[in-house]
Amino acid sequence: MELFIHQVLAGLATGGIYACIALAIVMIYQAIHHLNLAQGEMAMFSTFVAWQLIEWGMPYWAAFVLTLVLSFAAGVAIERIVFRPLHNAPVLSHIVVFIALFSIFNSAAGFIWDFTIKSFPSPFGSQPLFEGAPVSAHDTGMFGVTFVLLILLFLFFRFTRVGLAMRAAAVNPESARLVGIRVGWMVALGWGMAAAIGAVAGMLIAPVVFLEPNMMLSILLYGFAGAVVGGLTSPAGAVVGGFIVGVVENLAGSFIPYIGQELKLTIALALIVAVLMVRPSGLFGSRLVSRV
């Protein structure tokens, strides 16, 4: 029973990271209706920026906030410079650009900071939260930060004019334009927020997986799993899906024979297939109905 509780709590901690990545994926998907294959590499590059700021002597939380600002600005710039001209381009063009961004961020990080593994500091420490606690202080901190972030995002999209405008632009851009909403800038803001959310995920998971250019590849796959399980049309569903994936993969790695730590990623991919077979729109996604 103690092992079960430990794995559930640890799954919730890592599931918060998957929820952040899944939410970032869904935000961009709702904006341009394509999956951002470079979301993980954008988060990785932001984490390297934070590491460099800390190495230069900046306090952790100051580097954390500055990295979020820089990531937000970079996300807006990518949308304005790269994807705005591709608005009416074929799907294949978007896929090629996403793959190009993936390679650019990965290669640039390796060129600037080298491909050697680096340790990333944790502001919470690695010791248990208290004597006998089933999870570490860092796991608790990860869950706490992601929970606060998700609450702030909920309040932003529910009660602010900009948040409501972004929701309207994502759901029905034509009607949003008719009431004076600048849909193009709402899409750019969505990109910026997705980049900042990804940066949070990267900085929180880096002390666990260590910092190197390929650190976010498996995290991105878990994020995709969370987004698909929850529903690509539901930001709240993506968050729930991320937590589900975190708990399921931890429990499967501990209690299903022959799975272990090496095959945990297979569980996430199998979960995607299982959900799509039963409910293609995801657990919380809306079904698209068209009149013939």
- DSSP per-residue letters across 53-94: HHHTT--HHHHHHHHHHHHHHHHHHHIIIIISTTTTS-HHHH
Q: What gap in Å lies between CA 181 and CA 166, rounded to an integer?
A: 9
246 vs 7: which has the higher pLDDT:
246
Q: What gap in Å lies between CA 140 and CA 44, rounded to an integer?
A: 22
pLDDT of residue 275: 81
- List pLDDT tens digits, range 25-40: 888 888 778 888 899 9
**Rounded percentage of the chain residues whose pLDDT exceeds 90:** 28
- List pLDDT tens digits, range 195-207: 999 999 999 899 8
Please determine, looking at this structure, whether the domain spanning 2-278 carries the CATH number 1.10.3470. Answer: yes
φ, ψ (nearest 5 deg) of residue 128: -55, 150
Segment among 203-212, 268-277, 279-288 with least mean pLDDT:
279-288
φ, ψ (nearest 5 deg) of residue 35: -85, 130
pLDDT of residue 288: 53
pLDDT of residue 291: 52
Calculate mean pLDDT across residues 63-68. 95
11 vs 133: which has the higher pLDDT:
11
Which are the contacts of 126, defined by CB distance < 8 A and separation ≥ 6?
136, 137, 138, 207
pLDDT of residue 62: 95
Which are the contacts of 127, defined by CB distance < 8 A and separation ≥ 6?
136, 137
Highest mean pLDDT among 59-73, 136-150, 240-254, 268-282 belongs to: 59-73
Q: pTM of this prediction?
A: 0.88
pLDDT of residue 36: 87
Calculate mean pLDDT across residues 166-179. 84
pLDDT of residue 5: 78
- List pLDDT tens digits, range 224-267: 888 888 888 888 888 888 888 888 888 776 666 666 666 677 77
φ, ψ (nearest 5 deg) of residue 86: -95, 15
Residue 132 predicted with pLDDT over 70: no
The strand pairing partners of 136, in sequence order, are 128
Q: DSSP string covering 93-113, please?
A: HHHHHHHHHHHHHHHHHHHHH
pLDDT of residue 131: 63
In the structure, what pLDDT confidence band is assigned to residue 83 with cuts at 50, 70 and 90?
A: confident
Q: Report the first-to-last Cα separation within the chain, whole angstroms.
A: 54
